[in-house]
Amino acid sequence: MSDLTGELIDGRYQLLRQVANGGMATIYEALDTRLDRKVAVKIMHAHLAQDEAFVSRFIREAKAAAALTHPNIVAVQDQGWNQGGVPAVFLVMELIEGHTLREYLNERGRFEIKDAINYLTPILSALAAAHELGIVHRDIKPENILISKDGRIKIADFGLARGELIGTTMTAESSVILGSVSYLSPEQVQRGIADSRSDVYAAGIVAYEMFTGEKPFMGDSPIQIAYMHVNEEIPHLRSKRKEIPQSLDELIASATAKNPDDRPRTAGEFLARLQTIQIEIDPKKNQLDLGLDLPVEPIREKVRRKLKDEPVKETTVEIQETTREIKRTEEKKKRASKRVRRNRKVALVLAIALGIGGWWTLVGPGSRVVVPSTVGGSYDEAVSSFKPLGLTAVILENRFDEDIAKGRIIESVPPGGGKVDAGGSVKLIISKGPERYTIPSITGLTPKAAQAAISKYPLTVGTTTEVFNSEIPKGFVISTSPVSGSSVKRDTKINLIVSKGIEQVALPSYIGKSGEQALNELTGAGFNVESGYAFSETTPELAVISQTPAGGDTANKGAKVSILISKGPRYTFIPKTIITMEADAGKAMLESLGLKVKVVTIGNAKKKVVKKVSPAVNTKVLRGSLVTITVG
């Protein structure tokens, strides 16, 4: 891919220089012109940008890393397609200025046991955070472990990651090709599948290399190395280095077992066992577990019951009509009998009684008006319905009601269907709505004053809970439960939360321990950590030289804690491996040791290699000294 240095990507990222080039993408140091900060921009090679599978994988990398928030994982900040210039699919990450673990291994060879554990702790902590989210890295190797200039360890390149958050990944064949064969687990080589135990295997191989200074298997071809990982056991650490503790040897053997079921299930389990061994090596070591996030149980949707339509029963009524034949018979008129004359007298009396009753009810003193139902309506609606009947509305009472809205009628006297004298009145009970009271604001009051403020309402004071607080002084109310301003029912209990003042935290001593551990644990404990760096002839590199306040003291949570981290010895040695190295690589190696480099070129050779170095190799020199290399 052609060098895009100088291009402006997405109208925002100015590419400054090329810092790395791989088979899939090129990484540039760039300037975010919008926020005026330096970032790393990863741009997919143009020929791969035409392949939808590779583009999808590139986007998965962004989603995988963006889903993770951890101090030891390279943060992804943006992703997109360059629309206005050179066609490019890009990913924007935080810029880590420093070196890879591979460069440290090339320089040092094997690590001291305590130093190796200090490096492994943040690596496994980062992987544990990914495994908790169901994300598997799939490509752990020293080249993907970055160490910044200030000593921070970062895991990069989640390009082969997979998990529920990002979907599926590449095929078995492509994943084998893309991953580094020296760190691939047997199941990845054989079946192309990987889970958290595959990351544990790769981390175990990285640990093996840090403790011994060499890879477990070497071969003439990648296929030969992959065959060894599948068919041969990883050598024990103690076979290479006798001072390795037996428990540490067994842990690395377990992590690199051929059978995935014999390994720690996740990086979190690997880390826990490693920390136990670390305490055995150094009993004064104080471990602080920061992985306290618990998974939220998903809400399960309730199964909806289907309502079965009940069949409608139809009743058929048959009406039978009966027809009688009326036969006229001509009879002679007869004289009415005594019974007929008696019935006629009874009918006359009944007719007179009904007439008198009708007059009493409709016209006389017994006439009354039926009251229409007004429940649920408003007062104005009730007046409108009463007026045509000659009735008047009188408000008898305003009453709280949980079901009837404010201003609506709860009941009437007499109720709907009852009767009232013509021209009379109907008494109405109107709703004031649900009975609610607003909790007063009592923040900053003493508990006694808060109780007095609450007692002005038909509410009760519940429990009092004391908690630490950095803003409200000790002994004063922070808040209430339910919160102030809420509307609550009568007799609701109002619980008080009272300040215990600023929390005092005991400070452990981190002198001689990993600076990375001190930064993470102190930050996690709520302290404002300020770190500095200095040379030390007695304290190992990246370990803590001093801290203020000292270990054993107590300090306010959120207070400033200063730690001084070792940059290693003030002096270093000119490595003998620099002779015959390519000019740029040799210069970079010396600069990584903190030396200033002057390059003198001789001859006309196209490929420049280091011929001579001054001071000579194996010479002890002060960091910051000028070293001259002659290349040709």
Separation CA 438–CA 432 (nearest Å): 15
E strands, 283-336, are: none
User: Catalytic annotation on 139?
Assistant: yes
Residue 303 is given by DSSP the state P
Rg of the chain over Cα atoms, rounded to whole angstroms, equals 44
Per-residue buried b or exposed e for 105-124, using 16+ beta carbons within 10 Å of the residue's own CB? bbeeebbebbbbbbbbbbbb
Residue 431's alpha-carbon distances to 382, 428, 457, in angstroms, are: 14, 10, 20
Amino acid letter, 243 = E
For 9-53, the DSSP string reads: ETTTEEEEEEEEE-SSEEEEEEEETTTTEEEEEEEE-TTTTT-HH
Question: Residue 438, SS3?
Answer: strand
Separation CA 409–CA 401 (nearest Å): 10
Which candidate in 36, 78, 139, 401 is catalytic?
139
Helix (H) or strand (E) holding 601: strand 596-601
Beta carbons of 160 and 193 less than 8 angstroms apart:
no
Backbone angles phi, psi at 189, to 5 degrees: -70, -45
Helix, strand, coil share (%) of the chain residues, nearest 5? 30, 25, 45
Q: In a 10 Å sphere around its CB, with 0-12 CB exposed, 13-18 middle and 19+ buried, how is residue 231 labelled?
A: exposed
Separation CA 363–CA 356 (nearest Å): 10
Residues annotated as catalytic (active site), given as ranges = 139
